[in-house]
Amino acid sequence: MQPSQFTVTVSDFPETGKHLIYNTITQAQVIIDDTLKSVMDTLPALPEKEEARTAVAQLKKMGFLTDSENDDSLALESHFKKIWDDTSVLRATVLTTYSCNFECVYCVEEGVKKAVFMDQKMAQEAVEYIEGKFAEHGSRSISVYFYGGEPLLNITAIRTVANGLHEFSLAHNVPLTFGFNTNGVLLTPEVIAELKPLGLTWATITIDGPRDVHDRKRPFKNGKGSFDAIIANLKAIDGLTHLDINVNFDQSNVGQIPALLDFLKEADQSSKIGKLVFTPITKTPKDREGLRPATETDCSFMTLETAQQLIALRRLAMEKGYNVDVGVHARACEMVLRQASIIIDPYGDLYGCSALAGRKEFSHGSFREEQKDAFKGMELWRRCAGCAFAPLCGDGCPFGSFIRFGDPLALNCARETMDYFVGESLKLSYLKKKRKI
């Protein structure tokens, strides 16, 4: 017997002489003492004391220990197979438009944004395509994510898709939920009132800082600030739907985010926010080509510095009383690792990843003429089979690889970042659970 390669140790936490161990496959977390850690470190020699043998057996059951490296390999294989085989939820992303009423300085959709809107016929065909995929995968529920551009610029398409799928869900007793990321200026109480009976369950609005910071980073196309319009909607929505706030950050605004958190508290909005999410701004193809000033692009999402800033923001937000998801999750790339996931753009073209949508070279046809998706089911994780974090990152993000190297299949390893990020996330998660933050 030996420690599993997927067992991560946070030493001397929550206090000296105690250690938090975490398994990236089973997601189990246990606090052990020095004695048991020594036992783990000296395996395969088994301890003599009965109490220690019992503890070892329990750790084995929870996945912290394994009989052999081969068993670890089999466990990883099984992990990804289960994700692949899980078609219970059909996940559909529908891009209603490539148009946007904002001109964010860091927009990753450069070269993709244009005044293209999904028309009625296409929206109806999207409904039929989703229904067909639902049957093909034998799914039991449908989750739809409206995306863009700014998805609410084409509320007609949202209505058509939502109404069509709602009818399907009623006729076949299929649970349906949907939501969208929106810049927030069109998310009014009226929109929520209309869409909620059809299955709207969540929305995420992005605010990047206090007024001056946000308006600099996320202005309207005409250059005017968008902050006041968003805050007015936020106040008007007042709990009508589950609402998360997303804050995109890089070096140019990370220092002003505490002021945003204070502003939202003072405006009495903090308690109405479901969850506060911080998203590192990713680079864009222009950055790769050196076509953009560095001041806006210091913060690539795979760097250790970014992870440190993210952890600091999460901790600060928790200390200020916000609900922050600090856990470590086994997440799986929709594009590669999940079969019951579809992304439809306004033309009816199909993609594996919403971030790559609009870049025709990554499309696998349209729902009128679908081709085999070359990315789907690729076992890229095999090149990371020896890594403790493989179950969490599954070989990383193809979009990140595309941004960094121009090739979605290039290995974009963030091992150093993961070492730090997973350890610190486990600490925050533990402290949150114990209500110590």
Partner 1 sequence: MIIEIVEEGFQGQDKFGPMMCCAFIFGGTGGY
Residues 100-159 that bind partner 1 (CB under 8 A): 104, 106-108, 145, 147
Q: Cis bond leading into 189, ω under 30°?
A: no
The yes or no reply on residue 397 touching partner 1 (CB under 8 A) is: yes
Report the alpha-carbon distance of residue 339 to residue 67 in Å, rounded: 32
Report the alpha-carbon distance of residue 295 to residue 311 in Å, rounded: 22
Report the alpha-carbon distance of residue 272 to residue 103 in Å, rounded: 27
The yes or no reply on residue 410 touching partner 1 (CB under 8 A) is: no
Radius of gyration of the chain (CA): 23
Minimal distance in Å, beta carbon 138 to partner 1?
16
The yes or no reply on residue 191 touching partner 1 (CB under 8 A) is: no
Q: Which of 1, 43, 52, 431 binds partner 1 (CB under 8 A)?
A: 52
Please enumerate in sequence order all residues whose Cβ is within 8 A of that of 427, keeping only pairs 6 or more positions apart, or say none: 10, 13, 20
The yes or no reply on residue 32 touching partner 1 (CB under 8 A) is: yes
The yes or no reply on residue 82 touching partner 1 (CB under 8 A) is: yes
Minimal distance in Å, beta carbon 314 to partner 1?
9
Interface of this chain with partner 1, residues 235 to 264, rule: CB under 8 A: 244, 246, 248
What letter represents residue 277's amino acid?
A: V
Closer residue to partner 1 in complex, CB, 94/125 = 94
Distance of CA 126 to CAs 118, 162, 357, 436, Å?
A: 10, 11, 16, 47
The yes or no reply on residue 162 touching partner 1 (CB under 8 A) is: no
The yes or no reply on residue 304 touching partner 1 (CB under 8 A) is: no
Closer residue to partner 1 in complex, CB, 125/335 = 335
Minimal distance in Å, beta carbon 148 to partner 1?
8
Where does 34-183 have alpha helices with state H? Answer: 34-41, 50-61, 69-85, 120-137, 155-172
Report the alpha-carbon distance of residue 180 to residue 151 in Å, rounded: 7
Four-residue CA torsion sign, 221, 227, 228, 234: positive
Site string for partner 1, 262-301 (x = CB under 8 A): ---------------xxxxxx------------------x
Count residues binding partner 1 (CB under 8 A).
73
What letter represents residue 340's amino acid?
A: A
Report the alpha-carbon distance of residue 114 to residue 93 in Å, rounded: 19
The yes or no reply on residue 367 touching partner 1 (CB under 8 A) is: no
The yes or no reply on residue 430 touching partner 1 (CB under 8 A) is: yes
Q: Which of 94, 127, 231, 307 binds partner 1 (CB under 8 A)?
A: 307
Minimal distance in Å, beta carbon 431 to partner 1?
11
Report the alpha-carbon distance of residue 308 to residue 329 in Å, rounded: 18
**Which residues does residue 144 pair with via DSSP β-bridges, in sequence order?**
92, 178
Please enumerate in sequence order all residues whose Cβ is within 8 A of that of 220, keeping only pairs 6 or more positions apart, or say none: 101, 102, 103, 185, 226
Minimal distance in Å, beta carbon 107 to partner 1?
7
Closer residue to partner 1 in complex, CB, 117/420 = 420
Q: Token pair of 126, please? A: 């999207």
Closer residue to partner 1 in complex, CB, 25/125 = 25
The yes or no reply on residue 372 touching partner 1 (CB under 8 A) is: no
Interface of this chain with partner 1, residues 325 to 354, rule: CB under 8 A: 325, 327, 329-335, 338, 353-354
The yes or no reply on residue 200 touching partner 1 (CB under 8 A) is: no
Q: Which stretch binds partner 1 (CB under 8 A): 17-25, 123-131, 315-323, 368-376?
A: 17-25
Minimal distance in Å, beta carbon 382 to partner 1?
18
Q: Are 148 and 100 in contact (CB under 8 A)?
A: yes
The yes or no reply on residue 51 touching partner 1 (CB under 8 A) is: yes
Q: Are 79 and 197 in contact (CB under 8 A)?
A: no
The yes or no reply on residue 4 touching partner 1 (CB under 8 A) is: no
Minimal distance in Å, beta carbon 96 to partner 1?
13
Minimal distance in Å, beta carbon 121 to partner 1?
26
Closer residue to partner 1 in complex, CB, 40/127 = 40
Report the alpha-carbon distance of residue 2 to residue 69 in Å, rounded: 9
